[in-house]
A and B are shown apart, each in its own frame.
Chain A
Amino acid sequence: MDKIRVTNLTKRYGKVVAVDSVTLSVREKEFFSLLGPSGCGKSTVLRCVAGLEEPTEGEIYIGETRVNSTADGINIPTEIRPIGMVFQNYAVWPHMTVAENVAYPLKVKKLTKEAIGPKLEVALHTVGLDRLFDRYPSQLSGGEQQRVALARALIKEPEVLLLDEPLSNLDAKLREQMRFELKDLQRRAGIPILYVTHDQTEALAMSDRVAVMNAGRIVQVGAPAEIYAQPVDRFVADFIGLMNFIPGRILSRNGEEVTVELLGGHRLKVADRSGLTGACVVAVRPEDISLDTTAPMRCRVAAFNYSGHLIDYKVEADGSVLRIQTSKNEVFEEGEELGFAIHRAMLFAQPEVQSP
């Protein structure tokens, strides 16, 4: 059963359309991410689910409760929605101790001290803050404040957890560590998460499914591997991971096998279902290109970055600049003439050139 169901959600601010008829569902125990560049409307969707923004149109269900319906004039206030929420800036109340912060949702439910005690202990233990219970937020690190926010969101045992870019204020190392912890915590608690982020590695690493948003719309929904391997359009291909875009031309089509011409007449066979003809864009991941000395397609090494587990090359081939990532031990020097081979590629329509 779906734990969150959003149907045809639209949010307009005056004439500006922030969210344009978005439909999505988050399943039981699912980690679902909304991913997109800033200003794409992902946070607005989350805030509508939380009830912090009122949709202009659409319906939202949390569990079996209809929390929003513009058609029937329903907009249940945030405070009675069965949600837990973590904010980008943690929003830990600076005038309360860790324990007071975490216990607050139970306090407003008017639970007795005796009833709160054990639950508080469990919540603090879950996020590993047992020993810091009497500290004030100003005495905590960013990561610890983040855990306080998480414990506070979990303690009321909500049906869903809403996370709004919760890791973006942490430093790189801590962020990676928190990714694992968050994922692990979600597994243990078995709670569905709706997660908003602009960081594609974060979304790919943690999510069961990802919805990529652009300009207020959902462009693609799918498992991380699916989105990485089969982006539906150029935007997704460009936004997720690194991608080389090479201009090409389709010469012939044989079922799903297409022959394209690129980079000064070289031919490449590509699996493609788009039905494109003529001029197109060939998209190639950097790791789907290999370098050697003999291959027929030629290039020249313009620059390279050594980053431990891989080598990141920038090469010039027939006027195009390509990124190539190899884990090979052989290191090519700047200016060296080489051959390269493309092992996998996707085809997209050429972007429409707008006449000025």
Chain B
Amino acid sequence: MTTAKLDRRYLLMIAIGLFILLVIIYPLWQVVFRSFLDAGSFSLKSYRKVFAYPSYYRALLNSIWISCATGAFCMVFGTLLAFLVVRTDLPGKNFLRTLLVLPYALPSFFSAIAWIQLLGPQGYLARIFFQLSGAQAAPWNIYSAGGIVFVLTVHYFILVFITVAGALERMDASLEEAARASGANTYRIMREITLPLVLPAIVAGGLLAFIGALANFGIPALLGMRARFFVLTTSIYYALAIPDFGLATALSSMLVIVALISMALQFGIQKGESRYTVISGKSVHPAELKLRSMRYPLCFGTAAFVFFISIIPILSMVLTALVKYWGAPLAIANLTLSNFIYILNLETGRRAIVNSLFLAGMSATVAMFVGSLISYLHVKAKLKGARALDFLATIPYAVPHTVIAIAMILAWARPPVSLYGTLWIILVAYFAVYLPFAVRTTNSTLQQVHDSLEEAARASGAKVFPRLRDIILPLARPGMIAGWILVFMPALRELTVSILLYTYHTETIGVVVYNMQDAGYREIAAALASIVMALLIVGNMVIRKLTGGVTGF
């Protein structure tokens, strides 16, 4: 009996590694590489162009200040709400907490569309304002930098909320009790003990919101381009339309650099926070702050706020989908289902639904399949080098989706492999976008399958594939299905990648909603968006059921 010199699992690892290098890393490299290229030789011309034209470097500055402002507002609102919901005796706080997550569960460009419906020139809230005040024009303009910051904040504040709420819940109650025993009153405790302790979480959450705002395309596209207000993502879109690949890649590289710096900061802060031994995993819950006479006023205020940002946009979307034409007076007689019938009968609409279902299903399946293999090699088999594989698969997480789309165009839109104009190029881009999420869920799912269960199968004589088939996969199945849906749902309504990669015949749902809205067919866009929202809500409920309420919104 001799030993099998080359473990078959290493072959698998090398194969996956090469696949990821080819499909994800090589295209991303192309972006950086091409930004330094002019007519085949090294040049800084593209970067010079960015800084020579005010419209381009202003996009960079706009991106930064818009994201900073969004981050700051998110920190304020996210922290306040987290304190209210976690640390006080606010009535109905658990229900409010569930509702708070709602805006983030919907795609950001849906939010932009809904807020245009509400606050735009003909918007529902604007109309109510006109009637109440008698004014002819609103003192605000949704198509502006302010509008962009507002909708970005509504969409991303939950990231601060979740990190701060987590830190508050993990905080050791005795720290506050010690301050109380030292004679400090509640206000001083909050200001001098609690706030400093959760500050890293606030900043880390703010940076997450900053990164989200920086990479966002849908909101600045729908709210900014009309006012000729550009940020990096929309400038890249614009540069591709020219098309000027040098400019697009230079802008992309800059976008990636800003994203990477803020991500490194965020990672550093979270690591620093975990070194704070005071915030431990103990389950001693700090005492709830008694709001006393403020209890019901604050409850009413918070509920109104949550209703405003979570419920009203959804109602607005559904209402718009049901009106006969945009701007029609609100009366029962003006409600109709014809918008739904129209979009479902429209060839483009039907094609987009089929395309999106195909793309979402395929990308979820492929990403989960590759993700499971990577997690198996990394978490279970613990092969040398598998950690590198895990790292490779996580790289796209740090790259804004606009850049991933450009990378795919650069790598796969010219001979010898020309996928441009097909669904395949969108599929490859989706795969790159969602692989990091898939790997994260498969990692945690497989970690829950105890090592000895596989070792027992080895000791029973089972080789790699029987072990995977008989032991690992059946045990990981519920987590895998939840992970599949977690990729499928965002892919179903994806916009940023598809809008850059679609051509006639390869439209996705996101593209059609965006184009309909942009072309002024708002009630049609709303009808399609409502259908997708219904699907997303059902999907969420399925996930909650599968994972016992651990994941999902």
Q: Which residues of A contact B (CB under 8 A)?
A: 50-52, 65, 73-80, 83-85, 87-89, 91-95, 104-105, 108-109, 149, 152-153, 156, 162
Contacts and interface: CB of A to CB of B under 8 A. Distances in A.
A246 B450 CA distance: 46
Place the interface of chain B in its size category.
20 to 34
Nearest to B460: A105
Contact of A93 (B5, B456, B463): B456
B354 interface: no
B228 to A, nearest CB: 59
Interface string B298-325: 0000000000000000000000000000
Contacts of B456: 85, 87, 91-93, 149, 152
B457 interface: yes
Nearest to A66: B1
A300 B174 CA distance: 45
Interface string B448-476: 00101101111111110010001100110
B475 A95 contact: yes
29 contacts: A50-B455, A50-B459, A74-B2, A74-B3, A76-B3, A77-B3, A78-B455, A78-B458, A78-B459, A79-B459, A79-B460, A79-B462, A83-B459, A84-B459, A85-B456, A87-B455, A91-B452, A91-B455, A93-B453, A93-B475, A94-B475, A95-B475, A104-B462, A105-B461, A108-B457, A108-B460, A108-B461, A108-B470, A109-B461
B4 interface: yes
Nearest to A100: B470
Nearest to A109: B461
Contacts of B458: 51-52, 77-79
Contacts of A87: 452, 455-456
A304 to B, nearest CB: 39
Given A74-B3, A94-B475, A95-B474, A79 B452 contact: no
A74, A91, A94 pick with most chain B CB within 10 angstroms? A91
Nearest to B457: A104
A152 B471 CA distance: 15
User: Chain B at the A interface: mostly helix, strand, loop or mixed?
Assistant: helix
Nearest to A77: B4
A91 B460 contact: no
A79 B461 contact: yes
Given A73-B3, A108-B466, A149-B456, A91 B450 contact: yes
Contacts of A75: 3
Contacts of B455: 50, 52, 78, 85, 87, 91
Contacts of A83: 459
Contacts of A94: 475
A84 B456 CA distance: 9
Interface string B1-45: 111110000000000000000000000000000000000000000
Contacts of B3: 73-77
Contacts of B466: 108
A162 B456 CA distance: 11
Interface string B80-124: 000000000000000000000000000000000000000000000
Nearest to A78: B458
A325 B452 CA distance: 42
Contacts of A52: 455, 458
A77 B457 CA distance: 12
B291 to A, nearest CB: 45
Given A74-B3, A94-B475, A79 B463 contact: yes
